[in-house]
Chains A and B, each alone.
Chain A
Amino acid sequence: MAKSQESFDLVDLKLKVSGRGDRLFFGFSSVAAYFAFSLVFLIVIFLGNASFSTFKTQGLAFFTGSTWDDAAGVYQIFPMLVGSVLCSILGLLISAPISIAIAYFIEFMAPPRLAKALTNIVDLLAALPSIVIAIWGAFVFAPVAAQWAQIINNKLGFIPGLQNTSGTFVGSPFIAGWILAIMMTPIITSVCREIIGSVDKDLVSAALALGGTRFSTMRRVVIPTARGGITGGILLGLGRGLGETIAVLYVLNLVFIVNFNILENYGGSVAPMIAAYYGESSEVGVSALLAAGVALFLITLFVNLIAQIFVGRYEKKMAS
């Protein structure tokens, strides 16, 4: 009884704001908080306003058409949207298993010291500048990956999606997918590591005491428990991939034709397209690029919000 009385007082103490200093202090922090809160809306309003004319003149064809002609004033980004999604999904197919494997290794297989070192390396990689990956991708990786693409095409070219009509293999969504995988892996890994690490150790012990093997414990207990959080982590990676600009710009041959053949020597992606066309566009063209930016922002925002909800829901479940 005495204890609960005491904590009541403490809560009151925490709520108390008195004096000019306090009002200034909390005033500043509230202003900062509302500023952070309103940024999303500011971005939508200003980008939307600056690109409104494009949406008005182009109409729905802006999203569904496949022509980009600055001289003729036609701006349509469908192939780029398709390409963004295609490259990001390719990136996820590569990076999600790798990330989950690294997270699993750190949490369940590595000795404590190695686990700590790997965690640090993953955190460092999250700060890997995309221009560094861009230069490596263009000069070192792309020629090698083009060889892989050629071999895959030789052996499996009869499968739809793996065809190539041009005979050259650089500039393909396949290569962009690998580059994106490198950019996505750190974020997916760090979320998955935290999620897998937060699975109740008692449950893992219980599974092992019931004769669980490493594999069956992971499959029956760890993965089902962590599923929501892992999904959130993968979605965060998807958001990262959709927004990646420079690294993709250097390895992907941007062409305004819808392409689902991942080994073909061209593809699309919204973010690098904006960077590539920005310098050489007319005033109207820049407005169209801003419109593409709005589309990109809304897509990534949507993906990220869903990801936040998944991760947040998982954390709440773990806390209870």
Chain B
Amino acid sequence: MESLNPISSNSFGADVHLSTKDVHVWFGQRHVLEGVNLEFPVNSVTALIGPSGCGKSTFIRTLNRMHELIPNAKLAGEVLLKGQNIYAVGVDPIQVRINIGMVFQKPNPFPTMTIRGNVLSGLRLSGKHSRNEDELVENSLQAASLWNEVKDRLDSPAGSLSGGQQQRLCIARALALAPDVLLMDEPCSALDPGSTIRIEETIRSISKNMTVVIVTHNMQQAQRVSEQTAFFLAEDNNPGYVVEAGLTNDIFHNPKDKRTEDYVSGRFG
């Protein structure tokens, strides 16, 4: 039982404000994820690693209630944000998604909007208002380290940016809603190495005042950006589960479980 719940506020020394309790996921009758207990401390980066098909992307979508948009999706367990179960009756999923932002695998800025329009799209979509939109645009783009590159062409279409810039625009777009948590689903898998480094720097800097959860299949990336790591595994059509979770250093250099050791040393996956 202990291995399933290794990150506690005590061991890390910080407050926990997002955690999951025994989360199970199904698609129709297919059980894809079982018994996930994880805690994500404030202002830290947690990496979710594991071979493809182990359910880590599915898991991250349960954290901001994007999972339920898939037909046939089912779920059990609790996801707690500041102690409140986000799946409780009466919780507005839209408020959850405003509080917990998300960046996707493929850069997906809105092609019909300008750069500025993309940054403000969260406000428009969720019906929120801002006193000073110009300031919000600048701050969000600064935080995503894109401001200097685009400050002179805020009104050009988002499609005119390079892939890496587009992904940072997507980060800025998510940051504009001032979320408590930012979820990133393999944000660099479609990008070149240079852009990847820029994004990793961005992640490091935004995690100073935000909780970040990042799915990655790049183990070097997990070591570079995260304070803690959870290793997911699914064996032979069985549901995926967390083999081991803990401080990133421990997972990569001192794993408790043989399967973790095999995976991080590149023996499979």
Chain A residues near B (Cβ < 8 Å): 111-112, 200, 202-203, 205-213, 216-217, 220-221, 224-225
Contacts and interface: CB of A to CB of B under 8 A. Distances in A.
Contacts of B125: 207, 210-213, 216-217, 220-221
Contacts of B113: 224
A212 B95 CA distance: 10
Between A207, A209, A212, the greatest number of chain B beta carbons within 10 A of the residue's beta carbon is seen for A209
A216 B108 contact: no
Contacts of A112: 71
B165 to A, nearest CB: 16
Nearest to B69: A208
Contacts of A210: 97-98, 101, 121-122, 125-126, 173-174, 177
Give the interface residue-count category, chain B.
20 to 34
A205 B66 contact: yes
A224 B112 contact: yes
A230 to B, nearest CB: 13
A202 B97 contact: no
B63 to A, nearest CB: 11
Nearest to A226: B112
Contacts of A203: 108, 110-111
Contact of B108 (A111, A202, A217, A220): A202
B101 A209 contact: yes
Contacts of B71: 111-112
Contact of A225 (B112, B170, B173): B112
B195 to A, nearest CB: 18
Contacts of A216: 124-127
A210 B125 CA distance: 7
Interface in B165-180: 170, 173-174, 177
Contacts of B110: 203, 206-207, 220-221, 224-225
Nearest to A225: B112
Nearest to A204: B69
Nearest to B112: A224
Nearest to B94: A211
Given A111-B71, A224-B112, A225-B112, A211 B170 contact: no
Nearest to A214: B94
Contacts of B170: 206
Interface in B89-103: 94-95, 97-98, 101-102
Contacts of B102: 209
Contacts of B121: 207, 210, 220
A213 B98 CA distance: 11
A209 B127 contact: no
Interface string B66-102: 1001010000000000000000000000110110011
A213 B94 contact: yes
